[in-house]
Structure 1
Amino acid sequence: MGAGAKHKLVFVDRLLATLVHLRHGATHDVLACWFGIDRSTSTRAIGEVRPLLSERGCTIGPGVRLHSLAEVVDYLGASGQTGIIDGTEIRGRRPAAGRKNREKFISGKNEQNAVKSMVVTDAIGRLLFCSPAQPASCADITHARQLGLVTLLADGPVVEILADAGYQGLGAQTGGRVVTPPHRKFKKNAPDWYEKMHERQRKAHSSRRIHVEHGIAHLKNWRALARHHGRREHMTDTIQAIAGLLSHQQTTILMADQRM
């Protein structure tokens, strides 16, 4: 404690620089000009504050935060709420030529270099959890299994989790707690009555889980997640820091509306 070079910025200014960088994507050079410091000083400030923000977790009440997927499942079970999950991809810089496992960062969906995170919201779209970043080639259902979602739902409280077709198969592994769109029973020459019924069920499910898309859209409004230009090693801290800040804002607005 106390070792190393002394800070040229007080903590409030370091926090402000980090928030501007995350929200508007301002480069370290621009921040250095604004605060009248060297570029290395702004880089050091962001590198110190960003992990602190990512460790805060997602706010669900005054002084109450969720830090892990297990805490989210327990919270949903205790409150009787429905959770919604979905994966989102964040474009990043292409790995250097010759780097090992370079192809893992290529998305099979968009064929672009990206990383993936699993987002969990409640039934109204309030952010509850954003997972650490994974290479975009990882399938949504594989990512959910790696995070331990199957074990948490099978051994934990009774929770309903809505998901899209990319998670089909988790319902059977979790005793029906993960609800996905219905499978098509007819691949060819389906009767008209079945097509109408299937489309009605699909739309009903989509209308219930649309709120997670709104939550992801709010995340992507932050410039740092619209397209990441920094190092991929910082992606997990960046995603979880923004999720924590956004969830705090959402909870504050929700509580204000309830008091009115």
Structure 2
Amino acid sequence: MEQVISADRPEWVPVFTGVSVRVFRKLVRIVARRGGEQTGTGRRWGLSLADRVLLVAVYYRTNLTFRQVALLFGISKSAANRVVDHLAPLLALAPVTREHGPDTVLIVDGTLVPTHDRGMSASSKNYRYSVTMQVVIDANTRLVVAVGEPTPGNRNDCRAYTDSGVDEQCRGANVLADGGYQGNPGVIMPYRRPRKGQPPLPQWKEDLNTVHKSVRARVEHALAHMKSWNILRNCRRTRDGVWHATRGIAQMRNLSMTA
């Protein structure tokens, strides 16, 4: 099969991946440092490292099937699958391994990602089998700091926050979230609206809620940006595939914002 797109033709990179050529080259260097370049003996890859990274980025952006992606790169469907299996963990955002400083402000929110893997998903409020992905951003830089492990889509945010392990990656920081994170004492939520017949909130609480909402909107904008990579709208990957894909997209978004 003839290869249609290649990293040697940089004009195709923004079209198929949604990132600039400069960001893509940074991504290739990151994957290379993490061991993506083939060394030693064994079966050789039919594509260069840059083309393999491009394949994964195209797959995440377009959510084409492996049969369709394989045609673009002139390889077999099974080879395209192997490329994604091999590089997806190397392309992903690294987990947080240290405690944050007390002046750090993070924002967390969950988003539903429809997935075909019934073993880890559940029917959720969007009436599809989905997983909940917890995403944390830095309130100042708006960069993604952490992505929790997927939890069933019918699990509420207050439980998914701890079950996903993202709470451990927020250690030491001030964490903002919406009212769905009740039961997590380390999370700062808005003041609850009084029930009917109760006195209204004092003005200072209303003012704090307004500020809280405006800051918290940053994570919603980040999630909307991440979902421009179409794999997060209908993920066909199984097991850790949706987790690697979400963290890989977070990595590309962060590079795009700091390039």
What is residue 45 of structure 1 aligned with on the other side?
83
How far did residue 24 of structure 1 move? 1.8
Question: Does the CA-based 8 Å contact 1:92-1:232 persist in structure 2?
Answer: no
How far did residue 126 of structure 1 move? 1.7
- What are structure 2's unaligned runs of at least 5 residues? 1-39
1:210 maps to 2:217: yes
Distance 2:182 2:51 in 1: 47
What is the aligned-residue RMSD (CA, Å)? 2.6
Question: Does the CA-based 8 Å contact 2:55-2:69 persist in structure 1?
Answer: yes
1:42-92 deviation line (CA, Å, top 9, x unaligned)? 1111211112112x52xxxxxxxxx23x53xx23x16x2311111111012
Distance 1:119 1:46 in 2: 22
Task: Tell me the amino acid that sits aligned with residue 118 of structure 1.
Answer: Q
Question: Does the CA-based 8 Å contact 2:148-2:165 persist in structure 1?
Answer: no
What is residue 10 of structure 2 aligned with on the other side?
none
Q: Name the structure, 1 or 2, with higher relative contact order (CA <8 Å, separation 6+).
A: 1
- 3-state SS in 1 of match to 2:85: helix
Structure 1, 199-208 or 115-124: larger mean CA deviation: 199-208
1:115 maps to 2:154: no
What is residue 26 of structure 2 aligned with on the other side?
none
1:161 maps to 2:178: no
2:51 equivalent among 9, 13, 31: 13
Question: Does the CA-based 8 Å contact 1:131-1:240 persist in structure 2?
Answer: no
Question: Does the CA-based 8 Å contact 2:111-2:132 persist in structure 1?
Answer: yes
How far did residue 161 of structure 1 move? 1.1
How far did residue 152 of structure 1 move? 7.2
- What are structure 1's unaligned runs of at least 5 residues? 58-66, 96-100, 253-260
2:192 equivalent among 183, 202, 211: 183
Task: Tell me the amino acid that sits aligned with residue 227 of structure 1.
Answer: N
Q: Aligned pair in 2 of structure 1 residues 18, 149: CA closer, same or farther (>3 Å)?
A: closer
What is residue 226 of structure 1 aligned with on the other side?
233
- 3-state SS in 2 of match to 1:47: helix
- 3-state SS in 2 of match to 1:169: coil
How far did residue 201 of structure 1 move? 4.2
How far did residue 93 of structure 1 move? 2.5
Distance 2:168 2:72 in 1: 49
Task: Tell me the amino acid that sits aligned with residue 113 of structure 1.
Answer: Y
Normalized per residue, the structure richer in helix is 1
Task: Tell me the amino acid that sits aligned with residue 77 of structure 2.
Answer: R
Give the TM-score normalised by structure 1: 0.74
Task: Tell me the amino acid that sits aligned with residue 41 of structure 2.
Answer: G
Distance 1:44 1:151 in 2: 32
Question: Does the CA-based 8 Å contact 2:148-2:166 persist in structure 1?
Answer: no
Query: What is the correspondence of 1:61-100 to structure 2 with a 5 Å cutoff?
Result: 67-68=95-96, 71=98, 74-75=99-100, 77=101, 80-93=103-116, 95=118
Distance 2:129 2:164 in 1: 22
How far did residue 149 of structure 1 move? 6.0
Distance 1:132 1:151 in 2: 12
Distance 1:110 1:27 in 2: 23
- 3-state SS in 1 of match to 2:112: strand
Distance 1:228 1:149 in 2: 21
